[in-house]
Amino acid sequence: MKRGDAMVKQLIMVLLLAGFLAGGCDRTTDDIEEDIKNAEDVGEWIDALAARPDNYEPPTVTSSNQLIEADYKNGTITLDQYYELKLTAALDHDNLDKEYKATFDNATDITSLLRLLSNDFDRLSEETRSKLQPYLLSFDDPQSAWYEEGHPTAEDVLQQRQALIKGPLPDMERPSILGEYFLVTGQAGTERQQEIVLGALQDSYDTFKDLGFPEPTDWIRVRVMDRPGGNNRNYDGVEYFQELLGRDRCHIDIKLSLATATMKATTAHELFHCFQEYMGDNFSLTSPAWVWESTAVWAEEFVYPTANEEHIRDAGHFSQLDWTLLSSNSLHDYNSYLFWFYYYQKNGKTGTQVKSMLGDIYENHNTAQTLMQRPDFYNEFKEYALWNFNQKPFKFFIDTDNEPTIRPFGSSVSHRRITGNTQDVDSVILPAGGIVLYVYTFGPLVDKVVFDLTEIQKDEDNHNGVQVIYEVDERFTYEDVSYRDELAFCRSRTSEEVSSVVFIISNGNLDESDNGSLLSASLPIDATGICVPEWRGYVDYTWSSSGSGDGRTDDMFILGNYESNGHTRVEEKLFFDSYEKEFYATEQYVTHSSHYSWMVEYAEPDTGGAGSWTAWEKKQETKQGSTLLTYDVPDDCPEFSCTGIPKAIKPYGDNETLYVHRTFNFRDLGTYTSKHEIMWVPQGLWLNEVEHTLNVSCPPDAMLLRMSDNGTRMYGEYSTESGIIIAEFTYE
């Protein structure tokens, strides 16, 4: 069955919802959401969305932390009450005050809470300080809330001079008196787990140090154990920064009963927190918890790129796209690690881009403003939004085993079925850094459908992104419509018979403190119109190539490897000059997207000394741009004065069935930044960024089109070494 067969599909959906298929089994909303989340392809995803009940409302999950945060912000509780409640919610949820007892965030790492408590400690009353002081003491201190009777302490080990495995890097400023970087302890019988944790510590330390992160200055205290007290206390891992033996130092707890892969990833996560302690003033950051946790989850991937442990966060991420990006509620700070993965993957997974961005945040302190001040941030964020579509033919996140495999679901996506002769309005409410998908399918009576984009298009500060993916005859097409006032389809035309349209709307203003950061707009849909015949069509150029060398110079340049891919599409409305039998373009909408990268890794020279050498070199550029061009047809055209509008297609000699579509040069589609990076050892990274104006040609060469026998369709197609160019125009 073709997916475009709307009537058959509608009948099947009615039967599904009525419970007549699958043996009459009623399917719950949760079952449908599972289908949406785990759809194999776009078609299955859209079908699953269409199965949602008309009155579907995404589940609202409120955590105890959200309730406490809200009351503190509105002044209902004091700072003292705030920290007492937050600690109770994290560690003793069963005994939390009834009015705050909601969903328990049982995977919450309390590292962020302890950091903030330490920073605010002097602002608390003497009574509260006395009560909460034990939470800020080293877990080796018998007065600490984290102390466990009978567990070996660091002092015990050092006094007995029982060295474990010495740290591999001899330049830590203050290792232990035994020369150790990590003092790892556990109860008798846990030696295997201690060795796993120690190996992961060494893997992670080397990886973070080699990337150039500032190292901890003092040895790190690590404990491997299952804490008593049930799940409320038994987190996978916790990092603390507390005084021990005369120095403030990093402490790490790792859960004993973790599987090996999870234990190693958790160790990498917590050790990255230790490195964060030395990056700068953590407490002066805005959105600190989001910075700490989202990057620490990314660090799991960076140290163990094939383990895929970080992908347990994906379901949370793809169900929370419409949240404030920098939120730390309900694990959103953990789940949004894919924001960093986007930059990490685009930069060749070297980690340098994430390190550079994180360094800028620590230098400038304002997380939202630092990210937004990147030279091409709004195009980057728009592309990041597109990546979160996350399904072929527009799947861009690529990790081991094709992860992530989750599709947008929950409140991240909505669906509306449009029937004939109706007008509807969807309300778009999108907070700072939010992304939302609106999916539309159509009844068989819909002829012309018009989406009014005037309220959701790019605002004066260039924050909003509006992208669309639509399906015609089982083929999906992408367009950036951020600057368009409307998007219209005449479904009675073969080339515009859309069966589904997906809008990807993004709010690139990340600063929640900005009163204008909330996108609140209407998206009207008008399906009452009737189409009139006219010439319309498109030119579509898609290419992809890779190989040795840089792909741009002569064939003799064979160092490294390159990848290049892209897509240019021009949709045109034509005016036919019956006198000259030529076609003129009266409307052209151009969308371009492409990516180029080249990288070479050099072998380490056998110099026998400490000389400088080049470790790797890389170039990359990402281009995105779109524009809408319109031309007025003069009253005396045709026959006279048609030259003010561009000629698109003209006859090929005297042949009445062949036409030539000439090349158009489109300029000023936006700007893009090219980057050239070189890693020198031991000097570090050299980075050169140059901004350019984006210009494209489409078709790249003049191409032949053949007119159909009935004179209502022109079509042409030809292949290049790296891609294919298709042009089609119809009179419908």
The secondary structure of 250-309, three-state, reads EEEEECCCCCHHHHHHHHHHHHHHHHHCCCCCHHHCCCHHHHHHHHHHHHHHHHCCCCCH
Query: What confidence score (pLDDT) does residue 688 get?
Result: 87
Q: Is 104 exposed, middle or buried (0-12, 13-18, 19+ CB in 10 A)?
A: middle
CA–CA gap between residue 371 and residue 600 (Å, rounded): 28
CA–CA gap between residue 41 and residue 234 (Å, rounded): 38
Q: What share of the chain is helix, strand, coil (3-state, %, to 5)?
A: 30, 30, 40
Q: What is the mean pLDDT of the chain?
A: 87
Query: What confidence score (pLDDT) does residue 22 get?
Result: 40
The pairing of strands 696-698 and 664-666 is: antiparallel
106 or 358, which is more confident? 358
Q: Is the pLDDT of residue 209 over 80?
A: yes
User: Are the C-beta atoms of 279 and 362 separated by less than 8 Å?
Assistant: yes
In sequence order, which residues have a C-beta less than 8 Å from that of residue 230 and are 6 or more positions away? none
- Coil vs helix vs strand at 438: strand
Query: What confidence score (pLDDT) does residue 178 get?
Result: 55
Query: What confidence score (pLDDT) does residue 466 get?
Result: 95
608 or 579, which is more confident? 579
Query: What confidence score (pLDDT) does residue 161 get?
Result: 53
CA–CA gap between residue 426 and residue 581 (Å, rounded): 44
Query: What confidence score (pLDDT) does residue 176 get?
Result: 52
Report how far apart, in Å, the C-alpha atoms of 76 and of each of 69, 81, 124, 412 are. 10, 10, 16, 31
Secondary structure E strands in 78-225: 182-185, 220-224
Query: What confidence score (pLDDT) does residue 609 get?
Result: 55
For the chain, report the end-to-end CA distance as a whole number of angstroms: 26
269 or 246, which is more confident? 269
Query: What confidence score (pLDDT) does residue 2 get?
Result: 38
Instruction: Indicate the pLDDT class of residue 606, thresholds 50, 70 and 90.
Output: low
CA triple 719-698-43, angle to 5 deg:
65
Q: If we measure between CA atoms, which residue out of 335, 507, 320 comes closest to residue 409? A: 320
- pLDDT tens, 89-140? 888 888 899 898 887 665 555 788 888 899 899 999 999 999 999 999 999 9
Beta-bridge partners for 583: 576, 649
User: What single letter denotes the amino acid at residue 87?
Assistant: L
Name the one residue in this structure whose structure tokens are 């600190």. Answer: 288
Instruction: Indicate the pLDDT class of residue 167, thresholds 50, 70 and 90.
Output: very low
Instruction: Indicate the pLDDT class of residue 535, thresholds 50, 70 and 90.
Output: very high
Handedness of CA 442, 443, 444, 446 (dihedral sign): negative
Backbone angles phi, psi at 352, to 5 degrees: -65, -35
Query: What confidence score (pLDDT) does residue 103 get?
Result: 72
Mean pLDDT of 613-642: 85
CA–CA gap between residue 114 and residue 240 (Å, rounded): 7
- pLDDT tens, 374-415? 988 988 999 999 999 999 889 999 999 999 999 999 999 999
CA–CA gap between residue 299 and residue 711 (Å, rounded): 60
Mean pLDDT of 616-623: 89
Query: What confidence score (pLDDT) does residue 162 get?
Result: 46
Instruction: Give the length of the chain.
Output: 732
Query: What confidence score (pLDDT) does residue 17 get?
Result: 40
User: Are the C-beta atoms of 254 and 289 separated by less than 8 Å?
Assistant: no
User: What single letter denotes the amino acid at residue 390?
Assistant: N
- pLDDT tens, 215-237? 998 999 999 998 765 444 568 89
**DSSP state for residue 171 in the 8-state scheme:** T
Ranking 230-239, 301-310, 539-548, 658-667 by mean pLDDT, the lowest is: 230-239
Query: What confidence score (pLDDT) does residue 727 get?
Result: 94
Secondary structure E strands in 554-662: 561-577, 582-601, 613-630, 647-652, 655-661
The first and second tokens of residue 119, run together, are: 């920073």
Query: What confidence score (pLDDT) does residue 12 get?
Result: 38
**E strand or H helix at 384:** helix 377-387
**E strand or H helix at 670:** none
Mean pLDDT of 59-78: 87
- Coil vs helix vs strand at 686: strand
Instruction: Indicate the pLDDT class of residue 152, thresholds 50, 70 and 90.
Output: confident
Beta-bridge partners for 565: 544, 595
- pLDDT tens, 431-482? 999 999 999 999 999 999 999 999 998 666 668 999 999 999 988 989 899 9
Instruction: Indicate the pLDDT class of residue 725, thresholds 50, 70 and 90.
Output: very high
